[in-house]
């Protein structure tokens, strides 16, 4: 650690000091700071008229590359990033007039599947069922909501008194905005919620 600090001090005095840059690269390599060591050794090789003339720097760069390769995260076997799962979404057609869409291949083509395995997902995929709400227009119309606040279940924040009118909603909104601008977030939320309850 001291060697790295000393080299950094020397580079602070003369940033073109190739010897100090190389020694700091060595110190950083020994300390396990492979990224810093890589930057330093690349700087050394860039500053030399013939980079192959400094075999030690070339060898150090190769050692650093090997260490960085060891530390690099291994990609998942199925190609998905860590924490994610690969999925293939195949949407069934809602219309009988359209020909069924062919799913796009995301993974490399698998070996020809036997007829018995035709319904199994491709390698690296998991079969899931996604259920959507119906697009049908035959649904019964939704029942209108009760228009008066008195008909609603329970009044939120009964301690906040707000007139049951358009002007009451406006005053609740204005009160909430004023509290929000003062930084009273919890109180502002209470007033907004009360106003929204009145609107519903």
DSSP readout, 73-88? PPPPTTSPPTT-----
Six-digit token string for 141: 């119309």
Yes or no: say if 57 and 70 are a contact pair by the CB < 8 Å rule: no
For residues 119 and 179, give the distance between their C-alpha atoms in angstroms, rounded to a whole number: 59
Six-digit token string for 126: 């998991």
Other Cβ atoms less than 10 A from the Cβ of 117: the count is 10
pLDDT of residue 83: 63
pLDDT of residue 10: 85
Average pLDDT over residues 73-102: 60
pLDDT of residue 115: 47
Burial category of 29 from C-beta neighbours within 10 Å (exposed 0-12, middle 13-18, buried 19 and up): buried
For residues 55 and 48, give the distance between their C-alpha atoms in angstroms, rounded to a whole number: 12
pLDDT of residue 157: 83
Tell me the per-residue pLDDT of 139-173, one tens digit each, with 9 for 90 and over: 555 555 544 544 456 888 888 888 888 888 888 88
Calculate the alpha carbon distances from 149 to 125, 146, 164 in Å: 50, 8, 7
pLDDT category at 110 given cuts 50, 70, 90 is very low
pLDDT category at 100 given cuts 50, 70, 90 is low
pLDDT of residue 24: 92
Q: Is the model more confident about 124 or about 50?
A: 50
pLDDT of residue 149: 46
Tell me the per-residue pLDDT of 6-50, one tens digit each, with 9 for 90 and over: 888 888 898 888 889 889 999 999 998 889 999 998 888 888 777
Q: Of 172, 168, 166, which is closest to residue 187 (Cα–Cα)?
A: 172
Q: Of 87, 167, 169, which is closest to residue 130 (Cα–Cα)?
A: 87
Residues 6+ apart with CB under 8 A from 7: 20, 21, 23, 24, 27
Average pLDDT over residues 98-120: 51
| CA 147 to chain CA centroid, nearest Å | 42
Q: Is the model more confident about 141 or about 123?
A: 123
Query: pTM, whole model, 2 decimals?
Result: 0.37
Q: Is the model more confident about 199 or about 124?
A: 199
Stretch among 94-98, 99-103, 107-111, 172-176 having the lowest mean pLDDT: 107-111
- R_g of the chain, CA atoms, integer Å: 34
């Amino acid at each position: 650690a001291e060697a790295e600090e000393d080299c950094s001090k020397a580079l602070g005095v003369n940033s073109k000091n190739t010897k100090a840059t190389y020694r700091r690269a060595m110190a950083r390599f020994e300390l396990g700071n492979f990224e810093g060591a890589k930057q330093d050794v690349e700087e050394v090789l860039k500053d030399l008229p013939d980079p192959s003339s400094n075999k030690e720097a070339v060898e150090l760069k190769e050692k650093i590359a090997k260490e960085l390769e060891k530390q690099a995260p291994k990609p998942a076997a199925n190609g998905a990033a860590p924490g994610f799962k690969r999925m293939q979404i195949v949407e069934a057609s809602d219309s009988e007039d359209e020909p069924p869409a062919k799913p796009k291949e995301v993974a490399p083509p698998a070996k020809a599947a036997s007829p018995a395995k035709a319904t199994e997902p491709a390698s690296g995929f998991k079969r899931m069922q996604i259920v959507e709400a119906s697009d049908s227009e035959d649904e019964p119309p939704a029942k209108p909501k009760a228009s008066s606040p008195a008909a609603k279940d329970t009044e939120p924040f009964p301690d906040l008194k707000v007139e049951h009118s358009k002007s009451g909603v406006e005053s609740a909104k204005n009160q909430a905005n004023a509290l929000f601008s003062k930084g009273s977030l919890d109180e502002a939320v209470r007033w907004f919620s009360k106003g929204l309850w009145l609107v519903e």
